[in-house]
Chains A and B, each alone.
Chain A
Amino acid sequence: EDQVTQSPEALRLQEGESSSLNCSYTVSGLRGLFWYRQDPGKGPEFLFTLYSAGEEKEKERLKATLTKKESFLHITAPKPEDSATYLCAALSGSARQLTFGSGTQLTVLP
């Protein structure tokens, strides 16, 4: 059974304090590892797709990396507007649906 685990559940950072969010996955035949951002009362917003170990993608203050067992979302010098829940999801084998982690709720304090 495919599993995706995110840690920590919640993270509070001071503005400018860089950190990383972790996503561990156990899936059969990874076809894609996805990161989404979700603001309260809204649907998830697509951020990145990673396909193979060693791959990295960047967008503004966010950088996602992938190994054979984990993905990290690095946040550099975060701002309060980066506060949100970050969701990780895996697409495996012949599956059409994503397996989601439980999310990391990030709060960036001014």
Chain B
Amino acid sequence: GAVVSQHPSWVICKSGTSVKIECRSLDFQATTMFWYRQFPKQSLMLMATSNEGSKATYEQGVEKDKFLINHASLTLSTLTVTSAHPEDSSFYICSATHIGQGTDTQYFGPGTRLTVL
């Protein structure tokens, strides 16, 4: 159980276009999902917390108008990179919080590799 999927797994786009990445919790409901960015050989950098039915909470330095997050249901959150530029090229990973008996556990998706030409 506790499977999280992401789609697409990789995407290549031209500079100036927008890209949407989907994150789904397949076998559980998640009121909270998280979006991370990861650069090569570095750890995860939290971008924002996605809350079902309400606005996302962005980390300091993350442009909310550039990285649009929508959490429309308990199993789906989307990240849209608007007007993408080469510096937005990165590995984007989502996670979904599974509420268990002990404590909440974040399960991660497989990631999406974004390349902006």
Contact = CB atoms under 8 A, between A and B. Distances in A.
Interface in A21-40: 31-32, 34, 36
Nearest to A105: B41
A44 interface: yes
B116 to A, nearest CB: 18
Given A32-B102, A41-B113, A49-B102, A102 B43 contact: yes
Size bin of chain B's contact surface: 20 to 34
B49 interface: yes
Contacts of A91: 103-104
Size bin of chain A's contact surface: 20 to 34
A81 B12 CA distance: 30
Contacts of B106: 34, 46, 89, 98
A44 B105 contact: no
Find the residue from A44, A51, A91, A105 having the highest chain B CB count within 10 A: A44
B46 A43 contact: no
Interface of A: 31-32, 34, 36, 41-46, 49, 51, 87, 89, 91, 96-98, 100-103, 105
Nearest to B43: A102
A43 B108 contact: yes
B93 to A, nearest CB: 5
A44 B49 CA distance: 17
Given A91-B104, A96-B97, A43 B110 contact: yes
Q: Which 10 pairs across A and B sit closest by C-beta, in order of nearness?
A: A43-B108, A32-B103, A44-B108, A43-B111, A102-B43, A43-B93, A43-B110, A43-B109, A31-B103, A100-B43
